[in-house]
Structures are given as structure tokens and as C-alpha cells.
Amino acid sequence: MNVSGDPAGSAVSPQSSQPGFREGENMERTNEREKEFRFGDSGPKYLFRGPRFEWGILLLKPGENLGAHYHNEVEETFYFEEGEAEIVINDSARKVKVGDVFRLEPREKHDIVNKTDKTTRIIFIKCPYIEGDKVKA
């Protein structure tokens, strides 16, 4: 059985495993290695921005933080992939570890702080995609 749960293995057509686009397909492809972090070796790296969601990677080096902010209409999810950090939600700090996931509602003020001596890698998803929805707190 393949990972899609299809015992016959027909969930992936031979064409869909080939690189590039085909007429009539609406899929979008990117590669992390083709994108850059905002500050060169840290900060956010956007893999997809719109039209319906925003998705990317946040890299915080020791001593760095995301910057306290909230979103008026956008919910944001953080998946902690590597390292340890603190997430501060509405002024309440929580220690996080690899594998933790946090989903934040609009208007929940948040920041992520790396107080360790190792880099923290976080996957983030924001939905819906609304440019300019971020408000510094």
C-alpha cells in the first residue's frame, strides 16, 4: 500500500511524477534551495505567497527573535522542526521542543525567541494570504 492509502498504487500517475507543468494543471512547484532567507542566513524564507495561503521556513540563530506581532485576519501555524526556543503568545512564554505545533488565531500577539546556542528551524503557514495583515506589537 502506498502512503495515499491506495492499494493499487494508482494515486500517482506517471505524468504527475515528472518535473514541470502540463497543460490544464494548476499545481505550483518550488524548491527551498532556490529561495533565500530575508537576512541571508536567517529570518523567514517564503516558499509560497498567495493566492490562498503563505508557507515558509523561519530560521532563528542563537539570540534572534521573530519580533512581536499579530495578524488582523490571518491565522498562523508554527511547526518546530529543529532546535528549541520560546514562543510568547499574548505575553505568556512557553518553552518549545522539536515536534511542537502551535496554531494561532487572528489578533493573538506572538513572538518566537531563540535563547539557546543552536539554530532553531520552524515551518510556518499563514491562511488566508492577506498582504499587509501583520501588525507590529
**85 vs 92: CA distance, rounded Å:** 14
Model pLDDT for residues 15-72, shown as the tens digit of each residue: 444 456 566 678 889 999 999 999 999 999 999 999 999 999 999 999 999 999 999 9
pLDDT value, residue 21: 58
pLDDT at 5 over 60: no
* Sign of the CA dihedral running 54, 102, 57, 63: positive
Delineate the domains of the chain, giving CATH numbers in brackets: 30-136 (2.60.120.10)
Give the end-to-end CA distance of the chain in Å, rounded to a whole number.
49
Average pLDDT of 126-135? 96
Average pLDDT of 83-104? 97
Q: What is the mean pLDDT of the chain?
A: 88
Q: Structure pTM?
A: 0.82
